[in-house]
Amino acid sequence: MIPRYSVPELTRIWSDEYRFDLWREIEVLYCEGMAAYGLIPRRAAREIRAKAAFDVKRIERIEERVKHDVIAFLTDMSGRIGPSGRYLHLGMTSSDLLDTALACQMTAAGREISMRLRKLRSALRRAALRHRRTPMIGRTHGMYAEPLTFGLKLLVWHEEITRALARLEAAIEEVRVGKMAGAVGTQTHIDHRVERYVMRRLRLATAKATTQIIQRDRHAAYLASLALAAASLEKMALEIRSLQRSDVGEAEEPFTRGQKGSSAMPHKRNPILCERICGMARIIRANALAAQENVALWHERDISHSSVERIILPDSTMLLAYMIEKFTWIMSGLKVNAKRMRENLERTGGLVFSEHALLRLVERGLSREKAYEIVQGAAMESMRTGRSFRDLLSRDARVRSLMSAEEIEALFDLGAHFKKIDFIFKRTLAR
């Protein structure tokens, strides 16, 4: 991932130093496990623990010659250990080391993302409660529909992030799996007790049956959870972009002191962060597809998945962590124009209360078809002429024959739309 969109914690997890340190620890634990069950001398395991070290630059130089990163690593480290270094990797295949280390990296990266999702969820909760009673117009098909509150919109987002968090944590558990199973998964040259020893100390589950590798449906599920979380962030960012449009003006991402908008038009305050989030979501979705392509490999393993994972796993986790941080900042400083929300709500002249009128006329004995005809007729005339829907309905003789003036006026009570808001908040936030 390019530095512009990097997150320090994720950069560290996907660094060569972090990866080689995991490899070192796995190889050392493997030797200690073999020593614990009398398969190699205990003094050799102690020497390996004391002397195991590596040099990233030297590994890179060796790899240029041998064209194999694991062999380059083992060559460097065993040379530092001396004769006891011959016990490193004994009976293992490269994927025992690679996939077990990758499980540790994916778990660590997933937990960083999980922590950030929790912070975002808290920010959404605070904003939802703050705007629980802030009225605005709801839109379906891009058209004015019925009133709701901005807080309810944010509460829906809060719930979506809760689901994203649950999916991610389930996916973390699915990839938190290591193996020491050998070249084709038979454990021919590996004691299963040693495998168990290593996994317990790494706090990983043990894959019960494998080929040479951990099966990639696990990794695909992990990437899918990242892609779904990114899609939710895109949805939220897209909504803010829509609400920030000049002709809407209901909400706006933060615009900091000294910030510039358009290079040509000084008056502009563009929703650049929300646009950035929308763009980044496309990358993570594409990466999730690549992860699914990695599931089908030849026989017990081929290497076609490896190069893909070296790109999609660091990039996807890094991007998502970055997106969450930015959107949390947006939500913490979101500018909400409640006055404009109210103005947009009221500019229809009461059209948004059409369902109230329809239902009351049905209650008074009209067929639904007849009631719909009356209400739609008044609504269409209102839109055509600019006259108030409220006025047109109150002047309709058929409506006046069934309802008093006070009852007609009550149709346009905004509070009636919000009578269940507190109930919805209570049942949603009760955990």
For the chain, the domains span 1-90, 93-187+205-252+268-345, 351-411
CATH of domain 351-411: 1.10.40.30
Q: Residue 264: what pLDDT?
A: 73
Residue 363: per-residue pLDDT: 92
Phi-psi group of 141: left, alpha or beta (phi > 0 → left; psi -120 to 50 → alpha; rest → beta): left
**Per-residue pLDDT, 216:** 96
For 252, phi then psi, to 5°, come to: -155, 135
- The amino acid present at 385, given as its one-letter code, is T
**CATH number of 1-90, picked from 1.10.275.10, 1.20.58.220, 1.20.140.10, 1.10.357.10:** 1.10.275.10
- Distance in angstroms (rounded) separating the CA atoms of residues 87 and 91: 9
Catalytic residue among 68, 189, 192, 262: 262
pLDDT along the chain (431 residues), means of 10: 90 97 98 97 97 97 96 96 96 96 98 98 97 95 93 98 98 98 94 97 97 96 98 98 94 81 76 94 97 95 94 97 97 96 91 92 93 93 91 90 90 91 94 71
Q: Quick one: pLDDT at residue 130?
A: 97
Give per-residue burial for 8-31: e unless 16+ CB within 10 Å, then b.
ebbeebbeeebbbebbbbbbbbbb
The amino acid that residue 50 corresponds to is A
Q: Which pLDDT score is estimated for 262?
A: 67
Taken in order 198, 202, 203, 206, is the CA torsion positive or negative?
negative
Whether 80 and 51 have beta carbons less than 8 Å apart is answered as yes
In the residue annotation, 158 being an active-site residue is answered as no
356 is catalytic: no
Among the listed residues 141, 246, 263, 401, the single catalytic one is: 141
CB distance 334 to 254 below 8 Å: yes
CB of 121 within 8 A of CB of 165?
A: yes
Please state, as a whole number, how many other Cβ atoms lie within 10 Å of the Cβ of residue 233. Answer: 27
Q: Per CATH, which fold does 93-187+205-252+268-345 belong to?
A: Fumarase C; Chain A, domain 2 (1.20.200)
Q: Is the pTM here over 0.85, yes or no?
A: yes
